[in-house]
Structure 1
Amino acid sequence: NYGLNYMFDVPETLTVQVVLIALVVVLATISVVTGVEKGIRRLSEFNMLLALALMLFVLFSGDTLVLLDKVVNNAGDYLSGFVAASFDTYAFADEGAQEWKMWWTIFFWGWWIAWTPFVGLFLARISRGRTIRQFVAGALFIPLSFMMVWMSIFGNSGIELVANQGVVELGEQALNSPQTTLYTLLEYYPYVGITAAVVTVLGIVFFITSADSGALVLANFTSILSDVNHDAPVRLRIFWSAVIGLITVALLMAGGLNALQSAVVITALPFSVVIFAIMVGTYKALKLEGSKADARRMIAGSAPGGDWRERLDRALDTSNRAGAAATIEHSIRPAMTQFAQELESRGQTANVTEEQVEGESLPNLMLQVDFGDATSFVYQVCPHRMRTPNFIPADDDFYVRLDVYLAEGGQDKDLNGYTRGQVIGDLVAEYERHLQFLALAGGHAQAMPGTIGEPPEDAQM
């Protein structure tokens, strides 16, 4: 609202703020309806590029070398004092320091904790298929690095104006009305009309991307998803987007921004207990994966048999849909059925199911062996249409992979060209590893949900 007031003299009233919230909700609804890969992703990328452009503008319009020196200096101060500052409770300081701790450190801890359910689930949704290393880099280190540079460049630019150029009112604004500070700072740089518009657009789009991702998470929370790679129905996304807008308006009318912030922070205390439970769950899940890896090392298995020329054919195979269909019909389906029947004859509960995915003529096949309370053995084959690599000679631009998935995810294994005996051999090898895994885990291991049948990141469906 202040940005519009600054540029167009739009009054800062409750009515205007309600209209702005309604506009944000409409745009967020359009974004969430289009999905993660289109609306949400495109808006987020646009906003980050715009923020990067604004930061570089301030950097190169100011004393660039001094600002870069201060970025390095600030980063060093942060890293060297991180542990000491984390344990500093101001126990021997005066009441002013204690009050600052409550309204800054403790408040922002609560603020961040309150955001963890939504942000954590949304990050998990968009990070499916990534390794933990990639997730930590993309969700922690890269954003942290960007924010450190952003805060250093803008913060030091403001400090320079207040401390060395006598712009005392900028410091007073930062204390009394922080929402106006950035606009006042940009007045001391060229093209203030353009940069003020950029800041306003950034604020609007940041609100939109927060609302649309929140609506998506809530919609997924309140629906039963038949496929973990799909999101909730559109009507639920629209509903939760509207609910977010109504709650925001209600809290704004009840007490303005302070009421909105207080309501968010109050939810943080009970959820902090849940975070500790999540930590324990994460430790158990990683320990479970370690047992699985140990089982795979102990039973290495053997390469599929056959003449070496046949194996070379499989390595260079770029089967079309007809070839993949023939492999399913003559090798994979009979092998799964025969293996399940053999297990049934030995007193185990095994079944083979097929699922037809919308838009895909070839079926997903899954063999599942039940072990009661312990993790079931799952062996799933999913067809995926992929772009043919440039380094493999082929007549078509696309080919079909028959990818293997276990309960813990994809195995980077394509069954195209396998005979029935070779498929059974692979089934036996994976089944042996699963039995060894259950033995190492004490027979009580539980599978992580939602990890079966995930398409490769570059799959062209």
Structure 2
Amino acid sequence: MTVSETPRSSETPGGSDPTPAATASPGGSAEQRQPMDWWVFGVAAALVVAFIVWGTLSTHTLSAVAAAVLAGVMNAGGWAFVLAASGFVVFALWLAVSRYGKIPLGRDGEKPEFRTVSWVAMMFSAGMGIGLMFYGVSEPLAHFTSPPPGTVPADSAAALDVAMATTLFHWTLHPWAIYAVVGLAIAYSTFRKGRRQLISSAFAPLLGERRSEGTFGRAIDILAIFATLFGSAASLGLGTLQLGGGLQAYGLPPLGDLLLVAIIAVLTIAFICSAVTGVAKGIQWLSNINMVLAAVLAIVVFVAGPTILILNLIPTAIGDYLGNLSQMAARTAATGGDATAEWLASWTVFYWAWWISWTPFVGMFIARISRGRTIKQFITGVILIPSLVSLLWFAIFGGAAINLQRSGTDLASQPTEAQLFGLLDTLPLGSVLSIIAMVLIAIFFVSGADAAAVVMGTLSQRGSITPARWVVVFWGVVMGAIAIIMLLVGDEGEALTGIQNITIIMAAPFAVVMVVLCVALAKDLRHDPLMLRDRRSVAVVEQAVDYGTKNYRDGFVVSVKPHPGMHGSSEDAGGTNGAAGGAAPPERT
């Protein structure tokens, strides 16, 4: 999804603020189209084209190398993904409750650019979509019929609790905290500091302004392009698999490579057309339609499905999630050996890698729509609201699927991409619901890929919000090609395996970038003008109290009056006196 922005006036609301953003445009210098950064674009494009050529000419070799690299990453760094994801949660929540939470993402006193309802709706469209459609039925059902190693027996009452808790673990607090960290860093750097809307610009506190635009900064932006490219391609691959599963439900033969390639080709052409036309209102219109269709689909499944079970499942799932959170967050190969390592690669680590690879895209998007929010408002909204939507979605679709499985219909035996349609087929007007689901997936595909292509164009063109059309087309075509290759490198035709393997590999370097980004953001916030004023205020008050105590013990007051140098103010205008102790005459300090 893309958003058209209306530049705000350069006047300072409320009349204050010495921050650089007070005279900067909303996107720093990115409001006007910037020249191409040929180093970033050229290096990234050359490496990606080389990957496509390799995957086209020798798919089996690429598959073997990907499997070997994945094994190395999991053996040496699986723990790092698990630890980093929880670290981002702690960091984001700490920022929200700390003194930094009151810092605005813009000038002091600036109002939010979008109404809260629109802000929430756009976040939903950006960070969700194909993933919820693909895993809404399949993940709770998979954990119910095959729980994590060493936990509970399959198909048992306890397995239902584990299934919902594990699903919420993968889709609520952790992923949105990962998005929030990157989105906050970009929003603060752009709207508070007036820098370019680039990942590398947020590293200025560590690298310096000049280095953040030099070799180091370009390397970061190249990694961000790679993360966006492969993360988005993974989503396109999942959407393609599920569309193929829906077509298969209507009588087409089993999925073949040719059908998958054809689906990707058609939808790639569609989202390239939407991206180059610049019809932001059209994409917003489609996204709004998608939200309505998703709500209709969920309501129908809720009403026609096991309504009471779903209602009971919501509080139970919350309790199980919170009760098992620490255990799930600490699960590594050390707790269960090879079986757990394999399970983590297919589920938890894959998810953390997928969310991390999506952060440049989703982070940039939620940053652009969050100007004027405070850090506390930003983190609270970005984490809690989408988490609530995920809870309801998985309770409805996961609860209905598990109930169907327990009643004797072996939904779990169907291919993963076809399980949603298998569930819908058991409901009234199942064929109509399946068509609605396929329309949802197609629009999520088009709007999500459109925004991802624009983001990669922005990274290639020095932070331009409206990059050149040919750049967007290039990245759109490349994204479709990568999605095809990811589908083809799975073991023995298991396309989902290929998507998961390559996503984890490509996200590993950007996970390191995110850890350093947290350090840069913390340093930036520590030197924020609002924080500096607070520290100066505390120091002055402490000095005044020390002086009063030393000279008058408890018999003094602290008087606050306008500075003599301020024009147009009387001596006592706006002043307030706070008394402490006895009635001695006030002492100016």
| Letter of the structure 2 residue corresponding to residue 258 of structure 1 | T
Secondary structure in 1 matching 2:250:
helix
Q: Structure 1 residue 202: deviation in Å?
A: 1.7
Is residue 2:423 matched to residue 1:185?
yes
Is residue 2:236 matched to residue 1:236?
no
Q: Structure 1 residue 296: deviation in Å?
A: 8.9
Secondary structure in 2 matching 1:267:
helix
Q: Which of 238, 253, 269 is residue 508 of structure 2 equivalent to? A: 269
Q: Which of 215, 223, 228 is residue 453 of structure 2 equivalent to? A: 215
Does the aligned pair in 2 maintain the 1:32–1:39 contact within 8 Å? no
For residues 452 and 561 of structure 2, what CA distance do their matches in structure 1 show?
44
- Give matches, 1:349-368, under 5 Å: none
Residue ranges of structure 2 left out of the alignment (5+ in a row): 1-243, 541-559, 571-589
Larger Rg: 1
Is residue 2:320 matched to residue 1:77?
yes
Does the aligned pair in 1 maintain the 2:306–2:403 contact within 8 Å? no
For residues 199 and 26 of structure 1, what CA distance do their matches in structure 2 show?
21
Q: Which of 478, 484, 502 is residue 249 of structure 1 equivalent to? A: 484
- Give matches, 1:403-418, under 5 Å: none
Q: Structure 1 residue 182: deviation in Å?
A: 0.9
- Give matches, 1:387-398, under 5 Å: none
Is residue 2:304 matched to residue 1:61?
yes
Is residue 2:267 matched to residue 1:24?
yes
Secondary structure in 1 matching 2:527:
helix
Q: In terms of mean alpha carbon deviation, does 73-82 or 135-144 score higher? A: 135-144
Does the aligned pair in 2 maintain the 1:61–1:189 contact within 8 Å? yes
For residues 72 and 122 of structure 1, what CA distance do their matches in structure 2 show?
32
- Give matches, 1:149-168, under 5 Å: 149-163=392-406, 165-167=407-409
Q: Structure 1 residue 27: deviation in Å?
A: 2.1
The residue aligned with 2:411 is 170
- Give matches, 1:1-400, under 5 Å: 1-7=244-250, 9=252, 12-35=255-278, 37-89=280-332, 91-93=334-336, 95-163=338-406, 165-167=407-409, 169-173=410-414, 177-225=415-463, 230-255=465-490, 256-289=495-528, 290-294=530-534
Does the aligned pair in 1 maintain the 2:357–2:510 contact within 8 Å? yes
Q: Structure 1 residue 304: deviation in Å?
A: 9.1
Residue ranges of structure 1 left out of the alignment (5+ in a row): 309-461
Question: Residues 93 and 281 from structure 1, CA distance in 2 versus in 1: closer, same or farther, beyond 3 angstroms?
Answer: same
Question: Residues 257 and 38 from structure 1, CA distance in 2 versus in 1: closer, same or farther, beyond 3 angstroms?
Answer: same
| Letter of the structure 1 residue corresponding to residue 527 of structure 2 | L
Q: Structure 1 residue 217: deviation in Å?
A: 0.6
The alignment's C-alpha RMSD in Å is: 3.0
Q: Report which of the two has the higher share of strand.
A: 1
Question: Residues 287 and 186 from structure 1, CA distance in 2 versus in 1: closer, same or farther, beyond 3 angstroms?
Answer: same
The residue aligned with 2:45 is none
For residues 269 and 197 of structure 1, what CA distance do their matches in structure 2 show?
37
For residues 90 and 262 of structure 1, what CA distance do their matches in structure 2 show?
17
For residues 130 and 202 of structure 1, what CA distance do their matches in structure 2 show?
30
Does the aligned pair in 1 maintain the 2:401–2:423 contact within 8 Å? yes
| Letter of the structure 2 residue corresponding to residue 79 of structure 1 | L
Question: Residues 301 and 100 from structure 1, CA distance in 2 versus in 1: closer, same or farther, beyond 3 angstroms?
Answer: farther
For residues 561 and 483 of structure 2, what CA distance do their matches in structure 1 show?
56
Q: TM-score, length-normalised on structure 2? A: 0.46
Q: Structure 1 residue 20: deviation in Å?
A: 1.7
Does the aligned pair in 2 maintain the 1:33–1:234 contact within 8 Å? yes
Does the aligned pair in 1 maintain the 2:350–2:500 contact within 8 Å? no
Does the aligned pair in 1 maintain the 2:268–2:477 contact within 8 Å? yes
Question: Residues 134 and 301 from structure 1, CA distance in 2 versus in 1: closer, same or farther, beyond 3 angstroms?
Answer: farther
Question: Residues 185 and 115 from structure 1, CA distance in 2 versus in 1: closer, same or farther, beyond 3 angstroms?
Answer: same
Q: In terms of mean alpha carbon deviation, does 257-266 or 2-11 score higher? A: 2-11
Q: Structure 1 residue 95: deviation in Å?
A: 4.6
Q: Structure 1 residue 213: deviation in Å?
A: 1.3
| Letter of the structure 2 residue corresponding to residue 242 of structure 1 | V
The residue aligned with 1:313 is none
Instruction: Tell me the number of residue pairs that the alignment of Structure 1 and Structure 2 aligns.
Output: 300
Q: Structure 1 residue 212: deviation in Å?
A: 0.9
The residue aligned with 1:417 is none
